[in-house]
Amino acid sequence: MGIETEYAIASNAQDARIKDNPIELSFALVRAAADAADAAAATRIAGSAGAAHAPGVSTGASATGAHPPIRWDYRPEDPVNDARGYRLPRASARPEMLTDVPELRPTNVVAPNGGRIYVDHAHPEYSSPETMTPQAALAADRAGDQFMQESADGASATLGRTVSIYRNNTDGKGSSWGSHESYEVARAVPFDVLTRLMTLHFVSRQIYTGAGRVGVGEVSEKAGFQLSQRADYFHARVGLQTTFDRPIVNTRDESHSVESRRRLHVIIGDANRMDVPEVLKLGTTSLLAWVAENADAAGFDLEGLLARYELADPVKALHTVSHDLSLGEQLPLASGTGVRGDDVRGGDSGDADGDGNSNSLAATTAWQLQIALRGAVYAVGAAIYDTDSRGEPLWPDVETRTVLDLWGTVLAQLAQLRRENDDERLTDTSAVRNLEWLLKWQVLEGLRRRKNAGWDAPVLAAVDLSWANCDPAKSVFTKMASRASSLVSAADITAARKAPEDTRAWLRAYLIDAYPEAVAAASWKQIALRVPRVSGAAGGAPGGAGAGAMGGGAAGSARVVDGAESDIVTIDISDSAHFTREALESKLRRARTIAEVAAILGASIQ
């Protein structure tokens, strides 16, 4: 899995004549990131005479650092491929949907941890490297905040004014930008099942993933506070687009993976400053994708659950949940009252609203939906992994157990919160550790009472913005951080400035680190290496080494492009769980030439 964060960007230009252009500021930031990456590569190339990383490797590049910069390669990307089984003709796509058209300025840099830093429309964006757990994705995302703040500092030095970046999703004036999650899901799961399941989840998970927002409506036309930054900008149930008429379930099917796995591209999430909402967002969504993959094998009636809880109007329900601080608003169900009592037992508590009537299920709440979805995870878990003496599924890893414990704790806290009035919520010390919207609300409500102000007071909007500022010296969130649970330490984040060792991101970062002069370009699925010609025609790679080195035959074919002195060899790294440190490091360290490296990785020159 992975997470992409678009940041808001602004400067402190005092001169009224200087009007911020977010595109220019974004380019300045990515230019700073590119300069840092190029300087690091030049240092390593200069140092490789002393054989720090790549003993004896000669690629024909000079050792002075004068080499072409390593850039992200757009070619393998495919933003118009729709998960519902067809492609959007490029001619009918809006220009901003064509995210794979290369640009002339340095807009794309490979981050030191194998992630990607780039300009996306009018925002600087960081994509985390591929990770195996929500906790690893969180650490990689926080490391990204550091890279981006450092690059913002670089841009500030260049421009002579302070460039600030913000981890939020709206300016409250009609514009919204994204914090996208990506999950690999077996293609065998019908996309329709995934769509219906994730619709229920995305509508209801806001109660614990929301980062909180001052203002209601796309241009904050109504004063107030709501749970989510993003909800008001979504108007469709399902679709390919991400920049207009946004859909709850996005169908972009750029798998960045092997044929048997698709990418579930989630565009509806808030950018979180707090750890618990982010880990829950990633963990619960990943677990539900796993439910979709395993329900049949577990004998779990997923179809029944989806039919029982199908929402009458998911878009309206999305807005209702986000606007409802009482946490109890009823969401009408498509089935109306047509559900028999004996069918209602199962994931929900049957009579959660306490009216003694569990026979009809005309409506539900976000909390009840979450109970039902969590129930499905436990049911499938118990069937697949069996249970201990307390009936708890024997989950195979601690990361999964942690997510499930947190999920239960947070839902219990939300049930408690539902009964509390504003005075009680202001003095809450437990739920605020886990709920970002509540922690933000405490600050806003506290200030609002002090100033005897309404929700339209500019100072409240200013707090909402400052909350998201990534500069710790200026961030309101940083001042409140001691009240929030932390799931990653400073050391974890420092470690995540390097690539995860258990995914293909390790190889991407390793090659850039050890062979900066030989990496022509990198992307999610491919790495292009410059392999010097030994003699005459194409003869870089020793014959016969081939794909066998990967053990699973995961590596694929190579493409060769003629160059003046070297061939460009493309390594196929589609399988994100291969190309790990454990699988490859000892082999790669024995390689004496870049041609041998290419051969170990399964590339061979045709």
The interface region with other proteins, picked from 57-65, 70-78, 145-153, 367-375 by CB under 8 A, is 367-375
- Indicate the residue among 500 and 516 with the shorter CB distance to other proteins: 500
Chain positions 433 to 452 lying near other proteins, rule: CB under 8 A, are 442-443, 446-447, 450
* Calculated CA dihedral for residues 437, 438, 444, 448, nearest 10 degrees: 130
- Cβ(140)–Cβ(131) below 8 Å: yes
353, exposed or middle or buried, with CB in 10 Å at 0-12, 13-18, 19+?
A: middle
Distance CA(164)–CA(167), nearest Å, equals 10
217: amino acid identity, one letter: G
Kindly name the residue from 38, 120, 428, 464 that is annotated as catalytic.
Answer: 120
Chain positions 237 to 256 lying near other proteins, rule: CB under 8 A, are 242-244
Per CB under 8 A, does 290 bind other proteins? yes
Per CB under 8 A, does 321 bind other proteins? no
Nearest to 54 by CA among 66, 41, 73: 41
The interface region with other proteins, picked from 82-90, 153-161, 326-334, 456-464 by CB under 8 A, is 456-464
- Cβ(518)–Cβ(531) below 8 Å: yes
Distance CA(435)–CA(485), nearest Å, equals 9
Site string for other proteins, 19-48 (x = CB under 8 A): -x-xx-------------------------
Minimum CB separation of residue 304 from other proteins in Å reads: 9
Chain positions 42 to 81 lying near other proteins, rule: CB under 8 A, are none
Per CB under 8 A, does 301 bind other proteins? yes
Minimum CB separation of residue 288 from other proteins in Å reads: 11
Residue 222 tokens read as: 């109504």
The interface region with other proteins, picked from 43-51, 376-384, 552-560, 566-574 by CB under 8 A, is 376-384
- Cβ(29)–Cβ(148) below 8 Å: yes
Distance CA(587)–CA(601), nearest Å, equals 10
- Cβ(291)–Cβ(302) below 8 Å: yes
- Indicate the residue among 51 and 98 with the shorter CB distance to other proteins: 98
The interface region with other proteins, picked from 85-93, 166-174, 203-211, 553-561 by CB under 8 A, is 166-174
- Cβ(252)–Cβ(83) below 8 Å: yes
Minimum CB separation of residue 409 from other proteins in Å reads: 7
Site string for other proteins, 110-149 (x = CB under 8 A): ----------xxxx-x------xxx---------------
- Indicate the residue among 67 and 261 with the shorter CB distance to other proteins: 261
- Indicate the residue among 264 and 443 with the shorter CB distance to other proteins: 443
How much helix, strand and coil, in percent to the nearest 5, is found in the chain? 40, 15, 45
Assess whether 120 carries a catalytic annotation. yes
Minimum CB separation of residue 283 from other proteins in Å reads: 8
Interior CA angle at 59 toward 53 and 60, to 5°?
Answer: 130
Residue 122 tokens read as: 């009018």
- Indicate the residue among 48 and 176 with the shorter CB distance to other proteins: 176
Q: Please pick, from the candidates 107, 113, 199, 409, the single residue that binds other proteins as defined by CB under 8 A.
A: 409
Helix (H) or strand (E) holding 213: strand 213-216
* Three-state secondary-structure class, residue 292: helix
Indicate which residues carry an active-site annotation.
Answer: 120
